[in-house]
Chain A
Amino acid sequence: MPTSSAPERVVVTGIGIITSIGHNITTYWDNLLAGTSGITRITTFDPTDYPSQVGAEVKDFDAKQYMDPKEVKRNDRYSHFAMAASREALKDAILDTTKLADASRFGVIIGSGIGGIETMEKQAMTLFEKGPRKVSPFMIPSLIANIASGIVAIEFKAQGPNFGVVSACATSCHAIGEAFRFLQRGEADVMLAGGSEAAVTSLGYAGFCAMRAMSTNFNDEPARASRPFDLNRDGFIMGEGAGVLVLETLSHAKARGARIYCELAGYAATCDAYHITSPDPEGKPLSKCITQALADAKIKPEEVDYINAHGTSTPYNDKFETLAFKRAFGEHAKTIAISSTKSMTGHLLGAAGAIEAAVAIKAVQTGEIPPTINYETPDPECDLNYTPNVKIKRKVRVAISDNLGFGGQNAALVFRALD
């Protein structure tokens, strides 16, 4: 409860993950440390005619394990992932939401970069083939990018702050940051926050391929395709899935005797205001975002031990992100352990921020840092320590996770070991 003007401290008490390399935090983390790639040739549609033919699909996923079969039918795959990750996060937090004293102090902010694109694709076909009267009444509710927050709230009776965040690939970084603010201001005790994406569809691929944003040189070697910071990187690899965190005020977590991973100490958001899809070539707004997030946490740049980079494996992103790190940290940039776990998970767009925040959190908790796999040939323009190919052990007191979205939207989160 807010008793003074000082912001509430906020902690992470649960992590839910649905990815190509794990349907819970334990499997996900083990696979990341082992350097396991989840990237294969696309199976959900025939990729033969597409320039990019590989992706990180969620396999062996049965939505009915996580939600009522009727609800499965009424919702898009992106909402299935969101519900599954939310359930996993609450399980991990050992939090029985029916026991919460006040449902209006329990909120949900789960975003999506795109929303239900598979639904839109199918219903557009129906419209053109059969006419407007055959379009499903569930099309709009299942494709809107805020419905995941809505259905999760219905399932767990969360009547507190609730909306969807949409900022492309920075979506769930912003979602976690905004949830953090509600908790800091004392307007909620518990928040589910994260993002979900299911854009590994024919339309999703056609669109990103048309932008020349995706890797095309490694169709025969899927596991080698995502290679952030490597000289021969040639585009991102799309992944799907969801990440959801349970965030609580420190006082609420302590009162219920919760296991605490670490503190969420800072957040900031900036915009390049430069180009719709290309990052700012000087990396200034991103470096400002990181600097502001650290100031928000009252942490000095020299205290940062690990960064889970956005590291998309596109030529531009990795170069300009590197530049931004150098701007923000100066000489200290060289001593920070950096890794891009997109080398294994692919790029989950709106879910990237949450599954990567989870990596920063686990690094603080365990002192282990997952590698950037496929790092073979150094790029002179990417000259920092990217934790190549093999995990390392290192005491991590402070970790950052940053993300950049189309639209020039940047966000950064700062996690810190709880004293």
Chain B
Amino acid sequence: MSDLSIEERVKRIIVNQLNVNEEQVVPTAHFLNDLGADSLDTVELVMAFEEEFKAELQGKEIPETDAEKLMTVGDINAYITSKM
């Protein structure tokens, strides 16, 4: 398991997937409005989070209805934490 915090692991995935700088990945940053993502990117992001946080999510996929609401970096951090 990773020694990194949830926030750090979320940040790493976003930087990698969206090709943005770490400094841009603040809790209030909105995927579409601030981080240059499009609707296809957000689908892929959710898949990447499911993969990274398999243990925390008990191997479950993030339901469509939840995924639609995860629009900022902070939303993701809170969501993962709430599932632990």
By a beta-carbon cutoff of 8 Å, the part of chain A in contact with chain B is: 68-70, 73-74, 133-134, 136-138, 141
Using Cβ atoms and an 8 Å threshold, which residues of chain A touch B61? 133
What range describes how many residues of B lie at the interface? under 10
Interchain Cβ contacts under 8 Å between A and B, 18 examples: A68-B19, A69-B19, A70-B18, A70-B19, A70-B36, A73-B19, A74-B40, A133-B47, A133-B61, A134-B47, A136-B44, A136-B47, A137-B40, A137-B43, A137-B44, A138-B40, A138-B44, A141-B40
Dominant SS at the B interface? helix
Distance, CA A136 to CA B43, complexed state (A): 8
The 3 residue pairs across chains A and B that have the minimum distance between CB atoms? A70-B19, A137-B43, A137-B40
Using Cβ atoms and an 8 Å threshold, which residues of chain A touch B47? 133-134, 136
Dominant SS at the A interface? helix
A253 → chain B closest CB, angstroms: 37
Using Cβ atoms and an 8 Å threshold, which residues of chain B touch A138? 40, 44
B17 → chain A closest CB, angstroms: 8
Distance, CA A69 to CA B40, complexed state (A): 16
Docked complex: B11-57 residues within 8 A CB-CB of A: 18-19, 36, 40, 43-44, 47
Using Cβ atoms and an 8 Å threshold, which residues of chain B touch A70? 18-19, 36
Distance, CA A138 to CA B42, complexed state (A): 11
A92 → chain B closest CB, angstroms: 29
Residue among A68, A70, A134, A136 with most chain B CB within 10 A: A70
Distance, CA A142 to CA B26, complexed state (A): 30
Further contacts, 13 of them, CB under 8 A, given A134-B47, A138-B44: A69-B19, A70-B18, A70-B19, A70-B36, A73-B19, A74-B40, A133-B47, A133-B61, A136-B44, A136-B47, A137-B43, A137-B44, A141-B40
